[in-house]
Structure 1
Amino acid sequence: MYLNSKDIIETMNKHGVRGVHLGSWRCTTEVHNGVKQIGSEEKKLKDHIEVNQTDFLKKMSKNMDYLSLRGISGIVEIPASIGRLDYLMILDLRSCHNLEKLPQKPSRLKAKALWFPYLEVLDISECYLLDYMPKWVCELPFLEVLKGFVVGSLGNKNQSCSLGDLSNLKKLRKLSIRFTIDNLGPEVFRGFNSLNELSVLTITWRQNKEIPTYSLPKYIEKLDIRCYPEAEVLSKLQNPGELTNLKRLYIRGGNLTTIPCHDNWQVEILRLRFLNKLVYPTDWEGLRRSFKKLKYVEYVGCTKPMNFPNDGHSWNNEE
């Protein structure tokens, strides 16, 4: 499907819309043997949405509070004019695969002037051409959900946002991070564990790189680890005993040989996917001893422990 920029502008002006969703609603819905799969090539073609120009982004209503461009191809850059949407609460740019750059805050604005002063949700996940975050991302006073934050090496230090700068986001409760740099120094994580409101954290690591010691925000309830490049997590994590609220632990891909666990954790849901090198614990009894409050376990694409119940890919204590 190809969207015409002129038609979009005419429709918005005619109806005075406050919310615009131009992208795809479709998510990964097909399920085979309990595993969600990407849709068929035919469905992908039907879902393809592309714009010929992005002029409509410069002519959005100032009263708009919702904008989704999810999955739209052809958007390389978001214009700085979008920052004038003072009432915008949700900005969804997920899966805009051509997106290379988020806007920079204009220099003519005062240093303390806010962009998007009411923004609560910013989704830039699966935008793989982005390699750094502009500074204004860490200056959003009401931001609660930030998906796709990039820790990279490009960009002017005075204009880019670091992982430690996220400590300025006092209301942030859900965060996903993607590392793109080859060498991680300890300074990358400085101040990161001060995110006291954060409850959901997803980290996608860069493969085959050494990880320095680091600490996580101590009140997280869900931790999703993806593509972890080393054999163990706890050897580099400095504060595992502080994660006393942790109830959901998801691990997907990577080189882990041991499932991370600590006596202070309260994990109830454990999801393990595509861990080809996983060897410990080797038996079901050992897993239950490590996670005493388990209610649900899922093994997909990795070797299950001996005596795993029902010879299936998951276990629920209500069965």
Structure 2
Amino acid sequence: MASQRRKICVTQILSNCIDDWLKRHNSNGDVNNEVASTQAEIQKDLDETKEVFTQLKVLEDAIMATFQSLEEHISSDQTNEVSEKLKVIIKTRKEINKIITENFPEIEKKTFVRQQQSFPNDESKKKMPENSSRSQIEQNPSLSRTISQLQPDYDSLPENKKNCLLTLAAFPENAVIKKRILIHWWIGEGFVIKFGDLSIENVIMGSGQMTAEEVGEKIFGELIDEGWIQSRRKTKKSPTIYGCTMSPGIRRMLISNAQKSNFFDLDSNGNITKDDVQSGRLILDKGWLSNIDNHPQRRLLTIFNLNEKYLSPKEDLFSKNKNLKVLQLGRWQVSPRYHIEVDNCKFLDKLKTQKQLTYLSLRGISLITALPDSMGECVNLEILDLKACHNLERLFDMTNLTKLTHINVSECYCLPDTKEIFPHRLHYSVHVLKGVYGDDVLRLIYLPLTIPTFLPVRLRVITLTWRHDSSVELFKNDDFLTLLFLEKVQLSRYPLPDLPRFTFPHRLPNMKKLYIKGGFIENLSPMDPIDCGPWNVEILRLNYLKKFRLDDSYDIKHQFPNLLYLEKLNRHSSSTKKTHDKADIEWRKDEGWQTLNDKLKQ
């Protein structure tokens, strides 16, 4: 029975049936160009329907039963005329679309296309009824059935996973949500915590410890596998999941549960409100922040900027609320074009009162030129996200922030240096370090002759950027620490033709991801035989390297035996330059090594 088959596979079965049937009639000369064109249109609709199946878990029986009828028409030999068969197929296809549109009137044709827009514009918001979330549930029996069907699965989830899932109820319908933003929110509120003792001895012994971020990654993956959310990748081949979306039915089920559990402050129509914040989570929409009533009894745990583009928080917002754990004022949207700016930065000095603050994001906020030294008093801060603060010229001394695990200053182009992050030493607690200047951080892992050959550096991810005036002598030195735990390295604008020695396999035995972006690197071959040996790298990205080449004698299979994915982009997608650059390369292991060699030699 077709209704018993897996939802996603059935469209492929039908596609194969159509192909086989057309080949059969093509051999008899029965298929003309018009028929072929119609077949292509049908195939397109099948692909779109497959996308619907991944997003919506409703009306399964009705749609699958219709598909069964469609398959019977395709496979049947009772009709000999091609046009008659196609009419039947098209009629059934329309029935499928009718089922979807009647039960989900808010879903337009664009729903079948992967959504890239994160938030509806003001005009679209005006057209939406104020009680859209709740009324659609009440007026649509199919949605009510969906919630009742999903509720037992939701109720059976562990409490921490429920909380992680409920955070998604804050985001607008069809939004593409960055994975990292979600996981950092979960860490900030304590929904995910580290597993086991992460002392240097236990980590070296590999006793099954997991950082909080690794636990968050695990839960995020489980939510995908269980069908609560859908993964988003930049390309079909890419192994990297950067974000997720959620079906409208599941979102409404989560809104219903968030309302019942007081996870968010929702009005009678299921919309987030600022009027009476009892949940401890303040979700900011346009124009809300400057009008917040600073009630002295309010105990805010989280402030999350959903759609506030112009930040002008009252200074006493933080002095009256001293229990904040999550302060996400920056951009959560995938698109870097989403603009946020501040009227003044005085409120940043008031953050010194936030002794419980765990996660602070100012990502993508314009007009922040300096961070006050008083921010060094946020002694429990673990995650600091300053990415794309384009006007930022001065950091603060982070020496006293001994719990910091994540620091991101990528794309802060006005920073003269990044020495202020750790003037003297790199904290053992730091796992992720992004955007620091190469010569500022490498001096911290440089190995003087007077200290032991191993220091407790727990870095897992590092992104290094080089300035045009960077010193190159340090990078030629042999005496660097062996960073046992480093799994991902990104080098941006590296100024020399050969890779720095600290990146070779014997220095980074556990490196799984190597990204090289811009700069003057010409090859991957070591100058010294001691650096030879196979890499453990699984994902390799070589982007915007004008001088890069691989000799014909270079055996990439031997040097990268564990390679699963390679990407080589020659120019930015935004570039308008018309050149004869080599074609971009994207390869997965299932394509075979010979295919990769052929692509690299083109």
**Which TM class, normalised by the smaller chain length?**
0.5 to 0.7
| Aligned residue number for residue 409 of structure 2 | 124
- The separation in 1 between residues aligned to 2:409 and 2:387, in whole angstroms, is 5
Secondary structure of the 1:318 match is helix
Q: Any residues of structure 2 matched to 1:227-246 within 5 Å, and which? A: 227-233=493-499, 240-246=505-511
- Equivalent residue in structure 2 for 1:57, among 341, 345, 348: 348
Secondary structure of the 1:81 match is helix
Tell me which amino acid in the other structure corresponds to 2:446: R
Unaligned runs of 5+ residues in structure 2 are 1-308, 449-453, 527-531, 572-582, 592-602
- The separation in 2 between residues aligned to 1:293 and 1:268, in whole angstroms, is 5
- Equivalent residue in structure 2 for 1:100, among 372, 386, 393: 393
- The separation in 1 between residues aligned to 2:470 and 2:322, in whole angstroms, is 52
1:288 aligns with 2:557: yes
Once the 2 structures are TM-superposed, how far is the Cα of residue 227 of structure 1 from its aligned partner? 1.7
Q: Any residues of structure 2 matched to 1:1-319 within 5 Å, and which? A: 1-6=309-314, 9-10=316-317, 13=320, 17-28=324-335, 44=337, 47-60=338-351, 61-62=353-354, 63-104=356-397, 115-133=400-418, 137-138=421-422, 161=423, 165-166=425-426, 169-176=427-434, 178-179=436-437, 190-191=446-447, 194=455, 196-207=457-468, 211-212=472-473, 213-214=476-477, 215=480, 217-219=482-484, 220-233=486-499, 240-260=505-525, 262-282=532-552, 286-301=555-570, 313-319=585-591
Higher radius of gyration, 1 or 2: 2
Q: Which moved more, 1:197-206 or 1:265-274?
A: 197-206
| 8 Å Cα contact 1:207/1:254 also seen in 2 | no
Tell me which amino acid in the other structure corresponds to 1:267: V
Q: What is the alpha-carbon root mean square deviation over aligned residues?
A: 3.6
Q: Are the structure 2 counterparts of residues 216 and 201 from structure 1 closer, same or farther at C-alpha, using a change threshold of 3 Å? A: farther
Q: Are the structure 2 counterparts of residues 227 and 260 from structure 1 closer, same or farther at C-alpha, using a change threshold of 3 Å? A: farther
Once the 2 structures are TM-superposed, how far is the Cα of residue 288 of structure 1 from its aligned partner? 1.8
The Cα offsets for residues 26-71 of structure 1, whole Å up to 9 and x where unpaired, read as: 235xxxxxxxxxx6xxxx2xx2211112222233343333322211
| 8 Å Cα contact 2:535/2:559 also seen in 1 | no
Secondary structure of the 2:347 match is helix
Relative to its length, the structure with more strand (as a share) is: 1
Once the 2 structures are TM-superposed, how far is the Cα of residue 243 of structure 1 from its aligned partner? 2.9
The Cα offsets for residues 276-298 of structure 1, whole Å up to 9 and x where unpaired, read as: 21221347x83223322222222
Q: What TM-score results when the alignment is normalised by the length of structure 2?
A: 0.37
Q: Which moved more, 1:208-217 or 1:55-64?
A: 208-217
- The separation in 2 between residues aligned to 1:10 and 1:48, in whole angstroms, is 23
Once the 2 structures are TM-superposed, how far is the Cα of residue 208 of structure 1 from its aligned partner? 7.5
Secondary structure of the 2:506 match is helix
Unaligned runs of 5+ residues in structure 1 are 29-38, 106-113, 139-160, 303-310
Q: Are the structure 2 counterparts of residues 123 and 12 from structure 1 closer, same or farther at C-alpha, using a change threshold of 3 Å? A: farther
| Aligned residue number for residue 87 of structure 2 | none
Secondary structure of the 1:176 match is strand
Tell me which amino acid in the other structure corresponds to 1:197: R
- The separation in 2 between residues aligned to 1:100 and 1:312, in whole angstroms, is 35
Once the 2 structures are TM-superposed, how far is the Cα of residue 233 of structure 1 from its aligned partner? 1.8
Q: Are the structure 2 counterparts of residues 130 and 258 from structure 1 closer, same or farther at C-alpha, using a change threshold of 3 Å? A: same
- The separation in 2 between residues aligned to 1:244 and 1:119, in whole angstroms, is 25
Q: Are the structure 2 counterparts of residues 83 and 173 from structure 1 closer, same or farther at C-alpha, using a change threshold of 3 Å? A: closer
Once the 2 structures are TM-superposed, how far is the Cα of residue 239 of structure 1 from its aligned partner? 6.5
Q: Are the structure 2 counterparts of residues 195 and 299 from structure 1 closer, same or farther at C-alpha, using a change threshold of 3 Å? A: farther
- The separation in 1 between residues aligned to 2:395 and 2:431, in whole angstroms, is 22
Percentage of identical aligned residues: 31
- The separation in 1 between residues aligned to 2:536 and 2:321, in whole angstroms, is 54
- The separation in 2 between residues aligned to 1:238 and 1:223, in whole angstroms, is 8
The Cα offsets for residues 84-125 of structure 1, whole Å up to 9 and x where unpaired, read as: 3333332222222222222358xxxxxxxx733433333222
- The runs of at least 4 aligned residues of structure 1 exceeding 6 Å deviation read none
Secondary structure of the 2:375 match is helix
- The separation in 2 between residues aligned to 1:79 and 1:116, in whole angstroms, is 14
Q: Are the structure 2 counterparts of residues 12 and 282 from structure 1 closer, same or farther at C-alpha, using a change threshold of 3 Å? A: farther
- The separation in 2 between residues aligned to 1:238 and 1:224, in whole angstroms, is 10
Secondary structure of the 1:122 match is strand
| 8 Å Cα contact 1:251/1:271 also seen in 2 | yes
Larger RCO (CA under 8 A, 6+ residues apart): 1
Tell me which amino acid in the other structure corresponds to 2:313: S
